[in-house]
Chain A
Amino acid sequence: MKNWLLTFAAIGSISLAVGGFALAGSSPPTGGRDFRLGTISNHGTSLPLSPSSRVLVQSFNARAGFALSETYLLGVRGERAFFRLTGGTRTCFAGGTATFAGAELYSVSCAESFPSSQPVLNFSIVEATQSRPTPAFINLRGVAADAVATVAATNQQGDVVAKTAVVNNIFHLAKLPSGVEATGFVAFNSAGEVLYQTSTLRGGS
């Protein structure tokens, strides 16, 4: 009887541990690593695709071999809406607008690295012009893991030239200040520690 009780207790402990791990967002506990680097708590609210975006997603599915069928609105910042797309075993993210006709998608992004190994899915636009050949960010927008509190654009000296908060896993700054050459992007946690950074410069990372 005592052995039976011990067996039940052991199974119960294992179940609780496995359950806790699943609730934590399927991110294995690592030494000192914030598990929220790999989680996105905002699952969004269901929203149908607009007729034109339905055609776009059908074409995307056919080419990529995906079965994306459900769209969830993560939030709206200014005129910009962010979406989560799911179907089959795949989760992707999209940007666009939320209209009366439904979700109007301007871009769809499916990245293996997000959020498991990279805490930001960057939709920020990189531009180079005839008069300004150095590629630079012209806005900040994207989806970020739970651990990311703010994102910023930096110049070539590493100085922050624009900054915006990540709220409910999304961020959007429609336009960077004129005259700045934002060649860097940095993501910070709530303590101000750098979680991720990248550069527009060719050969950079």
Chain B
Amino acid sequence: MKVLFAALFSALTLLVPSAAQAGFWLWPTYQGWDFLGPSTYGDPCIHYYPGSTCSGWNYWAYVSVDKHSGGRVHLGFQNNSAIRGKFLDGWANDLFTPCEAGWCGWYLKGGTTYWSGDPSYLSTQAAT
């Protein structure tokens, strides 16, 4: 019986994400900027759009972008059922939290997606 409980507990800890997973995600992976355009293959997202890059899953505090040029991008979060965020055009420096999306305290992926116009020269990150 003890073995069964131990096995069940182990399985549950694998299934239920920990609330204390400190994390940081950065794209591009070096300290700098890169072009995010329709042909860019970034880090994987749940809802795929050409030219998107996403963090892993976590209880992120925010996702942000430092955008130096280019057309429109979508900055925000996504889960298995939806993607929510806001548009940024031209030069922009923005920070976006899960609460802004109406997803306070949710387990999510953060990311930036090319939307229209010229590719954007940017760096984007998420932190817990």
Where the two chains meet, the residues of A that have a C-beta atom closer than 8 Å to any C-beta of B are: 56, 59-60, 63-64, 66, 92, 95-96, 105-113, 118, 122-130, 135, 138, 198, 200, 202-205
B47 pairs with A128, CB closer than 8 A: yes
Q: Which residue of A lies closest to B62 (CB)?
A: A56
B97 pairs with A112, CB closer than 8 A: no
Q: Which residue of B lies closest to A104 (CB)?
A: B99
A107 pairs with B96, CB closer than 8 A: yes
A111 and B91 CA atoms in complex are apart in Å by 6
Where the two chains meet, the residues of B that have a C-beta atom closer than 8 Å to any C-beta of A are: 47, 49, 61-62, 64, 66, 72, 74, 76, 80-97, 99-102, 115-117, 125, 127
Number of A-B residue pairs, CB cutoff 8 Å, is 96
Closest Cβ–Cβ distance, residue B80 to chain A (whole Å): 8
A124 pairs with B86, CB closer than 8 A: yes
B95 pairs with A56, CB closer than 8 A: yes
A128/B83 contact (C-beta < 8 A), A56-B95, A110-B92, A202-B115 known: yes
What would 18 A/B residue contacts be, using CB atoms closer than 8 Å? Answer: A56-B62, A64-B93, A92-B93, A96-B99, A106-B100, A109-B86, A110-B92, A111-B90, A113-B89, A122-B86, A125-B102, A126-B74, A126-B87, A129-B83, A135-B83, A200-B87, A205-B72, A205-B117
A21 and B66 CA atoms in complex are apart in Å by 32
Residues of A contacting B94 in the complex (Cβ-Cβ under 8 angstroms): 107-111
B116 pairs with A202, CB closer than 8 A: yes
Q: Which of A56, A64, A109, A127 is in CB contact (< 8 Å) with B83? A: A127
Q: Which residue of B lies closest to A110 (CB)?
A: B93
Closest Cβ–Cβ distance, residue B111 to chain A (whole Å): 13
A117 and B95 CA atoms in complex are apart in Å by 21
A113/B90 contact (C-beta < 8 A), A129-B82, A130-B82, A205-B117 known: yes
Residues of B contacting A112 in the complex (Cβ-Cβ under 8 angstroms): 90-92
Closest Cβ–Cβ distance, residue B46 to chain A (whole Å): 10
Closest Cβ–Cβ distance, residue B101 to chain A (whole Å): 6
B95 pairs with A126, CB closer than 8 A: no
A204 pairs with B93, CB closer than 8 A: no
Residues of B contacting A204 in the complex (Cβ-Cβ under 8 angstroms): 116
Closest Cβ–Cβ distance, residue A14 to chain B (whole Å): 33
Residues of B contacting A138 in the complex (Cβ-Cβ under 8 angstroms): 84
A60 pairs with B95, CB closer than 8 A: yes
Q: Which of B72, B80, B97 is in CB contact (< 8 Å) with A107? A: B97
A64 and B74 CA atoms in complex are apart in Å by 19
Q: Which of B62, B84, B91, B92 is in CB contact (< 8 Å) with A127? A: B84
A128 and B62 CA atoms in complex are apart in Å by 20
Residues of B contacting A126 in the complex (Cβ-Cβ under 8 angstroms): 74, 76, 84-87
Give me 11 other A-B pairs in contact (C-beta within 8 A), A118-B89, A125-B100 excluded: A60-B93, A63-B66, A106-B96, A107-B95, A107-B97, A111-B90, A111-B94, A113-B90, A126-B74, A138-B84, A203-B116
Closest Cβ–Cβ distance, residue A109 to chain B (whole Å): 5
